[in-house]
């Protein structure tokens, strides 16, 4: 069994509807057609581990805090789907002074406008924290985990920053922010 297969088994065992959900079961996984439509809308492929989660475990609704966002279609009374949010953010619907980086897919909402996002264009799929509350776009992006696998393991093991009693997460700034947003304006 590969490392990803082992991790997927761990994620499946840990996956429960989030504490904010009124569901008693996880949403059904997406089918390959839905994944293909999502990737066509995004203009890039999901990292294999993230795609496998949506295809094999469920269409969001589990994970840390509010859980993973649904991929493409959101059920009533839920957070907008990851693809919907990405496209709206890239089109400047959030705020034109707050450009959204290319290839950075929001996957989980932390509340207070904060999101966990996967950098789908970088090998290993680092997970980034978007934390806009300081009020400066250049200081709103942090590296939460060097890979999606590390982020998922931290959730399962209870070692993520959100499980510690800290005023602020101890993370390094994400230095690719301006390079990823300036390409869109060229």
The dihedrals phi and psi of 3, each to the nearest 5 degrees, come to -60, -40
Confidence of residue 104 (pLDDT cuts 50, 70, 90): very high
Please give the domain boundaries of the chain with CATH numbers for all domains. 3-185 (3.40.1580.10)
- pLDDT tens readout for residues 138-184: 889 999 999 999 999 999 998 888 777 655 557 888 989 888 887 54
State how far the Cα of 132 lies from the Cα of 101, in Å rounded to an integer: 14
Predicted model pTM: 0.90
Q: Where are the alpha helices (DSSP H) in 43-174?
A: 48-56, 82-90, 148-157
- pLDDT tens readout for residues 51-78: 999 999 999 988 888 889 999 977 666 7
């Amino acid at each position: 069994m590969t490392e990803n297969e082992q991790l997927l088994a761990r994620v499946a065992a840990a996956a429960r509807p989030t504490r904010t959900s009124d569901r008693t079961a996880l949403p059904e996984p997406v089918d390959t057609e839905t994944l293909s439509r999502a990737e066509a809308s995004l203009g890039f492929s999901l990292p294999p581990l993230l795609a496998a989660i949506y295809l094999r475990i469920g269409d969001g609704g589990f994970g840390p805090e509010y859980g993973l966002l649904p991929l493409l279609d959101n059920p009533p009374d839920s957070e907008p789907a990851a693809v919907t949010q990405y496209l709206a953010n890239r089109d400047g619907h959030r705020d034109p002074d707050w450009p959204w980086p290319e290839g950075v897919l929001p996957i989980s909402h932390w509340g207070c406008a904060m999101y966990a996002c996967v950098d789908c264009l970088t090998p290993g799929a680092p997970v980034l924290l978007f934390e806009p509350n300081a009020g400066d776009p250049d200081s709103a992006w942090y590296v939460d985990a060097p890979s999606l696998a590390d982020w998922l393991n931290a959730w399962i093991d209870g070692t993520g920053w959100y499980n510690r009693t800290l005023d602020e997460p101890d993370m390094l700034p994400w230095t690719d922010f301006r390079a990823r947003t300036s390409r869109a304006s060229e």
